């Protein structure tokens, strides 16, 4: 049977497709209903055979062209997108510090003094009451700690949203602002799959580890955050990178974790200590030996923890040292 060409399929498209009001569409060539729209929303294509069903030549981008970041910024006529990491969501007005007019000419002495006074009052009126000042301080603390931990911007956004939720539900009363900000950042790291241990978070915070844990448990319970146990394998790439170990060691450590976790050995164990012991064992098996002290320093656990978890893991794997 001769298969119709794609051009003929496009010509017969209107005959085979149902109307938009019916809400059901299919590919005229393979009768598949798996239709996808491109990221720039200019094409609709079939996911199975690749036939393009709709084409639009409308360019929804700007009318100007830019070839580098500075040129793009100079031609752009819009500001930065709104963000939850700022107390006013980034919708405030900023007075530049360059002391130059629109034509690039330097301002006179009187104008500079006037601009300095305007900047001072602009900073003062950005926060209208104590609540906004506290929110500004909390979000700045979150941003500082996130930078020190090296987590991406998405984690900062999630942490800011969690803090705003805690603030709206009056969960901060009787607790320190830094403690709640640190606990929401810790929760955001877990939610985004970029886990950081409590020791790592407390190292960049101004709050004790015990208070962070207590506040985190309270916030997660009150906000009904569904937190799954941290997978030790998520720590393996970072620890191996800091220890300068090969991918072979990393793969072997993941294998040890998978095998021992299936036997129920992970329950009740610290994920950082469990990952550190698996890395120590895999490094020995791959002839890239690291001392227990080196692994313990990177994972921020004790050597005793690594020895105990290591002995349990090699016994479960049937490896005898």
Could you give the CA distance from residue 163 to residue 229 in angstroms, rounded to a whole number? 22
Say if residue 240 carries a ligand binding annotation: no
DSSP code string of 222-270:
HTT---PPPPGGGTHHHHHHHHT--HHHHHHHHHHHHHHHHTT-STTS-
138-148 residues labelled b (16+ CB within 10 A) or e (exposed) = bbebbbebbee
Look at the block and give the residue holding tokens 């019916």: 22
Phi, psi of 43 (to 5 degrees): -140, 145
Which of helix, strand or coil describes residue 114?
Answer: helix
Residue 100 buriedness (CB in 10 A; 0-12 / 13-18 / 19+):
exposed
Phi, psi of 107 (to 5 degrees): -80, 155
Which of helix, strand or coil describes residue 288?
Answer: coil
Say if residue 30 carries a ligand binding annotation: yes
Could you give the CA distance from residue 288 to residue 249 in angstroms, rounded to a whole number? 8
Do 174 and 195 meet the contact criterion of CB atoms below 8 Å apart? no
Do 9 and 28 meet the contact criterion of CB atoms below 8 Å apart? yes
Say if residue 189 carries a ligand binding annotation: no
Could you give the CA distance from residue 255 to residue 61 in angstroms, rounded to a whole number? 47
Q: What is the DSSP letter of 92?
A: S
Q: What is the DSSP letter of 54?
A: E
Task: Supply 80's token pair.
Answer: 């930065």
Q: With CA atoms as reference, report the closest residue to 186 among 153, 168, 169, 162.
A: 162
Annotated binding site: 27, 30, 46, 49
Q: Specify binding-site residues for Zn(2+).
A: 27, 30, 46, 49
């Amino acid at each position: 049977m001769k298969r119709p060409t794609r051009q003929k399929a496009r010509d017969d498209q209107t005959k085979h497709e149902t109307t938009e009001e019916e809400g059901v569409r299919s590919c005229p060539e393979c009768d598949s209903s798996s239709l996808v729209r491109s990221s720039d929303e200019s094409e609709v294509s079939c996911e199975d055979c690749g036939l393009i069903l709709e084409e639009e030549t409308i360019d929804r981008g700007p009318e100007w062209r830019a070839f580098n970041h500075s040129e793009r910024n100079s031609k752009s006529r819009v500001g930065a997108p709104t963000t939850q990491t700022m107390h006013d969501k980034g919708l405030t007005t900023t007075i530049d510090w360059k002391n130059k007019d629109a034509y690039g000419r330097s301002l006179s002495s009187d104008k500079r003094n006037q601009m300095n006074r305007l900047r001072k009052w602009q900073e003062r009126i950005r926060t209208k009451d104590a609540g906004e000042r506290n929110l500004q301080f909390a979000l700045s603390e979150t941003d500082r700690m996130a930078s020190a931990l090296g987590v991406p911007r998405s984690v900062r956004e999630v942490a800011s949203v969690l803090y705003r939720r805690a603030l709206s539900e009056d969960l901060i009363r009787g607790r320190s602002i830094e403690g709640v900000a640190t606990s929401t950042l810790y929760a955001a790291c877990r939610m985004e799959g970029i886990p950081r241990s409590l020791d790592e978070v407390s190292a960049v915070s101004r709050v004790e580890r015990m208070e962070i844990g207590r506040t985190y448990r309270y916030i997660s319970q009150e906000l009904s955050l569904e937190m799954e146990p941290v997978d030790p394998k998520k720590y393996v790439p970072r620890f191996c990178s800091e220890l300068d170990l090969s991918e072979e060691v990393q793969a072997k450590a993941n294998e040890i974790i998978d095998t021992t976790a299936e036997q129920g050995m992970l329950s009740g164990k610290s994920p950082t200590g469990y990952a550190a012991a698996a890395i120590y064992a895999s490094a020995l098996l791959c002839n890239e030996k690291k001392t227990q002290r080196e692994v313990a320093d990177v994972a921020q656990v004790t050597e005793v923890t690594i020895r105990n978890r290591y002995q349990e893991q090699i016994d479960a794997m049937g490896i005898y040292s």
